[in-house]
A = this chain, B = another copy of it.
Amino acid sequence: MPRPRAFDERQVLERAREQFWATGYAGTRMDDIARATGLGKGSLYGAFGDKGKLFHRVFGDWCTAVVEVAEGRLTGGPDAEAWERLAGYVHLMAENTASDTERRGCLLAKGAAELSQLDPTVAGRSAETMTALLTLLRTEISAAQRHGDIDSAADPERLAALLLTVVRGIEAVGKAGLAPETVRDIADTALAVLPGPEGQKRRATGRRPAGES
């Protein structure tokens, strides 16, 4: 009996995300979002509550997506390819940053930086996301160890934390202004220094094989 919505919720959230991503939480006005989505303020508030709730929604979806990308890249597959999956993931993250010419960075980092201190919801969600990524990386590192691509004496938990740090760090230094080529190199270097199979060393200064990513 009621009048149905004339907008696609997913699409509206997408536009809203673009706005928050581009100008941060405090920096975007609800008018901006209204203009960007084509919705009136009434519809916006009716559908999503207030600005805070809308941001939580967008932020939460983003966090979910971040974990899903990692899952897609890392989960499921033979141990023999675990190392390649790890390398692919790290390179993908570096490429994302390197090709982010607008220097928008990652909404997760941006949102956490701006709000995690003031907004427990944001803080909690970003912490959850980190833990999820950590688990995915640890599992994959263990797999690579079983196949002998990573020194089995190393603690997978610690290596996972290091890789997560590198991935998040790449995003940070990218936003801080390091050149795209440098960013890409960092991913290679990080992978190269991971302890290889027993006693062997990976090429520490090796170039990333063309087309691997």
Contacts and interface: CB of A to CB of B under 8 A. Distances in A.
Tell me the dominant secondary structure on chain A's binding face.
helix
A139 interface: no
Contact of A158 (B114, B158, B205): B205
Contacts of A178: 127, 130, 134, 161
Interface residues of A, number: 60
A176 B116 contact: yes
Contact of A176 (B127, B153, B175, B204): B127
Contacts of A164: 169, 173
Contacts of A185: 158, 161
A154 interface: yes
Interface of A: 22-24, 26-27, 102-105, 108-110, 112-114, 116-118, 123-124, 126-127, 129-130, 134, 151, 153-155, 158-159, 161-162, 164-173, 175-178, 182, 185-186, 188-190, 193-195, 199, 201, 204-205
